[in-house]
Structure 1
């Protein structure tokens, strides 16, 4: 059936029609609509035609070719197309709808202009779908649609947004070289690989939340005015984000990357406290690199971090990596030993240091005399700070409880709409436990016990991760920090367990001062020598008849100190002197064991 060079002033309707030959309409103007309903057609070939609406509904056809068609809209509804579907150089004032159709061969939309929306709804495409040089005024959407082969959108301006949420791509997904407001791929499943290249999202974000990528995903030179959001996404293979621009930052929070993550030279000019959000993510391996700048400010809260390398021009880690409860599983700490040593082994968020003191640092004056003084005064200074910090934590909690009781006794609803009694949680949560992209701060005082517990856990997990990869020296430094924050918690214990808390604080302080928590053999030796000199001074003060002077007192002290080692106790004339010698002998045995313990740990490292 052929219609050519005609002006038709009535609708053209084919219903319950069976054509063995193709339907061809050429060089014609049709005032009404072309409607094909419940029909079987061989081919449909329409070119150089003006029509109001073209609709093919509940029909079967082989090839469909629409070339240089001018219409208000085109609809394919519940139609099976056994051959190819080809639209080229068509201009539609309103929309293009492909709803619940099935195609078995290639679908190609080339140089098509749509004033409104382009919708692929509930359809199944068994062969390649290629959209090239599209100009769409509204959104391009593919809700609940299956693509069994490649789906590609390339060049042009394909819509105010591209919404591929909840679509299934059993082939590859390719988006290349075009401008769009925003792209949604939430809850989609991509099996054949995802490739996005040379995209500009001029008014929104690239949103991939909770999607599944069962092959590699590559984003190259993707530029967005806000962010790249891949939170909750599962990548069973690799993810690469190279070059490009994400103004606010990149979010991979709660994402899983089973093979490799590569992030390289993505600009984040509008980012605030966090540039790269990896909170709760599980990353097996990868590389995060930035040239010409410092490392990304990265949130690693509760992240499971495998063999991932961080590289930048300045080489600084501290202040850029925010570790909190981070689990290190194969992370090569040894590659960063120089940087960690320079930053005195700190990996937590530095913003919190003003509220919670860190472990003793290097002496503020670099001289031999001051280093000797600091050897003893550094731990004492830190112990004082832990006690002060613990008291502040307890005071903060008491203030929080008082405020809660006050609000609970008040009448009427709270101004913020919450129930009375919520303010205790509000005060405890003034710290932003998990900052997100766009947040101004990662920490807001006052500090709470929970913050110190997080720091202790952070260094506990870092210690375990360092031991796992054989970085024993680094593990020992992390252990010292773990014990430091534990001492603050002991100082903060209150109510019925307050006395027990101070006992634990004192135990911790003793281990810190005498042996650096078993990690400082020189401190054990220094403590041993101080004990000997202190007891020598006591012998001089007590003045037993058998002590003739300072040198003799020192020799007596040495003998008493080693009494349980050599089974020989110095014989002093007075009962008091003999008792002091026995007490020193106990100390000697303890310090000897402590020295052996610290030396053994040092050798093993």
Structure 2
């Protein structure tokens, strides 16, 4: 009989470690052992190119190393040694600490029956010898710790790394020391439901063939689940993680973290999910989901207290942040998705550079402190009913792009893009609170649509829409920013749409008091618009005054003439003198300062003079009002 178990000197042990090491990506291996080996490995996986790690990332160690043949000067044993160094773990040991029970294997590495193995596990947990709790590489039947308190004499962890277990049940159990399941393989059901792990839980590289349930579990220390693999659903709802959490490069078909609390740093970098449910989860530390891939992932009503990072994440369907609260910076650069939804969310500074979203990026009803978006590719950017306090957005030069700002509130936001970018903006009842219409790109884009910012929204509307409020709010925003040019242009269009409203009322109720009132208001509005440009076109009043004086001057000699000092001036007597004197008479009549030099000889002439005097007083009053308004502005 041998004095010690020889399992760790066996090919079987090497094969178990190799199973884990073979999934090591080549670029990671090359960077860990020696950067100079990159070109040699690139030549192996692709003989036609010896470029760099971008090609190596598509291959794993298992794709390159057969059992015997060295590759790039490295044998399989060399790779395993590098793997052990990389894992920096106290296991595997140099020798098994358990005595053989027959032949050269101990009870955990041999072929003992299930009950014998279970009894040995219980003894190992209770043993005062730390080495007894090292069960790496063992083969175990299903282990049932339901409702038990696993409390070893010291804090040395229970180590089941690289083990194969038929099933694990820690339902409502309490584990006072750490539990190490690194690279273990669980072939049957596994449950950590309502379990409490007072120290760490190590699941790095572990494989759960049927998934597992950790609902309402509590982990007091670090949870290391990097490169974890699950063949079925993983449920970790309403759990509490008091230490840092790492699911980097994990592969989880259905991952449900509903209502879970992460109190420290959390990382899902490079994780692959079929669907991810993080609804109502709380992330109290920095949360990183870089390069996360999934069909659909939802963070609806979740809360991120610190910075959240989603750079490079991909979703074949949707990334959902509906009602989510982000307390600090949110990084979403280079994400790829069918749609990204931030509806009703509260967002601090957010970066959306180099994003490709097939359908829409939706901030409807959201409040965004600052948005930066450059090189954006999407069909629709929606801020409908939302608030965007500050930002800089590069508008895609794409005819299919739409920016929906219906009932949104825009603060100090800068849009940069093609000169016709406002043709893609849906502006309806939008509030401009600090928006600068005079900013270079804005002014050029407004001129391209002749300041008619309502037209894109009107074009897609199912029925006629009143845009009076839209221009009223635009005018108020320009006034608040001291932009008199924009305020003037928007006021003119506000009045035009007010007239359209009167006409709509008249059309709906032509024979009614409301219809008559609307008719009067429509006529007044139209008159004011034609004569003065709604008070914004003083040149019109001046030209109208000149035309009036000239027109009446031509009429007076033809309607009986003017009498001066007993002489009547008509076109037939002295046309030139008659016209010049008539021009003088028309001017003093228009300005209502007649000096009595002339008298009209016919009743029609006197009627015309009264009309001109009345009209002149009206026009001069308009001119004074318009000039005063212009000076004030």
2:358 maps to 1:255: no
CA contact (8 A) 2:201 2:222 kept: yes
Mind listing any 5+ residue stretches in structure 1 that lack a counterpart?
354-441
Are the structure 2 counterparts of residues 32 and 20 from structure 1 closer, same or farther at C-alpha, using a change threshold of 3 Å? closer
Query: CA–CA distance in 2 between the matches of 1:292 and 1:341?
Result: 17
Are the structure 2 counterparts of residues 340 and 568 from structure 1 closer, same or farther at C-alpha, using a change threshold of 3 Å? farther
Match of 1:577 in 2: 605
CA contact (8 A) 1:560 1:570 kept: no
Larger radius of gyration: 2
Residues 169-568 of structure 1 aligned to structure 2 (within 5 Å): 169-202=283-316, 204-224=317-337, 226-235=338-347, 237-257=348-368, 259-268=369-378, 271=379, 275-290=380-395, 296-312=401-417, 314-335=418-439, 336-350=442-456, 352=458, 442-444=460-462, 447-448=463-464, 451=465, 453=466, 455-494=467-506, 495=509, 496=512, 497-546=514-563, 547-548=569-570, 549-563=578-592, 565=593
SS in 1 for 2:610: helix
CA contact (8 A) 2:560 2:600 kept: no
Shift of 1:84: 1.3
Query: CA–CA distance in 1 between the matches of 2:247 and 2:223?
Result: 8
Are the structure 2 counterparts of residues 539 and 566 from structure 1 closer, same or farther at C-alpha, using a change threshold of 3 Å? closer
SS in 1 for 2:162: strand
Query: CA–CA distance in 1 between the matches of 2:163 and 2:144?
Result: 11
Q: How does the TM-score come out when normalised to structure 1? A: 0.77
Shift of 1:579: 4.0
CA contact (8 A) 1:301 1:323 kept: yes
Are the structure 2 counterparts of residues 567 and 16 from structure 1 closer, same or farther at C-alpha, using a change threshold of 3 Å? farther
CA contact (8 A) 1:90 1:113 kept: yes
CA contact (8 A) 1:5 1:26 kept: no
Are the structure 2 counterparts of residues 227 and 36 from structure 1 closer, same or farther at C-alpha, using a change threshold of 3 Å? same
CA deviations on 1:494-529 (whole Å, 9 max, x unpaired) are: 321222212111111111111111111110111112
Shift of 1:490: 1.6
Query: CA–CA distance in 2 between the matches of 1:601 and 1:17?
Result: 93
Shift of 1:56: 1.4
Query: CA–CA distance in 2 between the matches of 1:570 and 1:119?
Result: 102
Residues 72-221 of structure 1 aligned to structure 2 (within 5 Å): 72-136=188-252, 138-157=253-272, 159-202=273-316, 204-221=317-334
Are the structure 2 counterparts of residues 567 and 582 from structure 1 closer, same or farther at C-alpha, using a change threshold of 3 Å? farther
1:38 counterpart (148, 165, 175): 148
Query: CA–CA distance in 2 between the matches of 1:515 and 1:68?
Result: 82
CA deviations on 1:229-282 (whole Å, 9 max, x unpaired) are: 1111111x211111121001211111101x2111221222xx3xxx11111111
SS in 2 for 1:339: helix
Mind listing any 5+ residue stretches in structure 2 that lack a counterpart?
1-96, 99-106, 564-568, 571-577
Are the structure 2 counterparts of residues 131 and 596 from structure 1 closer, same or farther at C-alpha, using a change threshold of 3 Å? same
Match of 2:176 in 1: 61
SS in 1 for 2:377: coil
SS in 2 for 1:503: helix
Match of 1:429 in 2: none
Shift of 1:44: 2.0
**The structure with more strand, counted as a fraction of residues:** 1
CA contact (8 A) 1:289 1:311 kept: yes
Query: CA–CA distance in 2 between the matches of 1:487 and 1:147?
Result: 58
Shift of 1:293: 5.4
Shift of 1:102: 1.6
CA contact (8 A) 1:104 1:127 kept: yes
How many equivalent pairs are there?
Answer: 498
CA contact (8 A) 1:6 1:27 kept: no
CA contact (8 A) 1:18 1:39 kept: no
CA contact (8 A) 1:20 1:41 kept: no
Q: How does the TM-score come out when normalised to structure 2? A: 0.74
Shift of 1:85: 1.0
CA deviations on 1:275-320 (whole Å, 9 max, x unpaired) are: 11111111101011146657942011000000111112x2323311
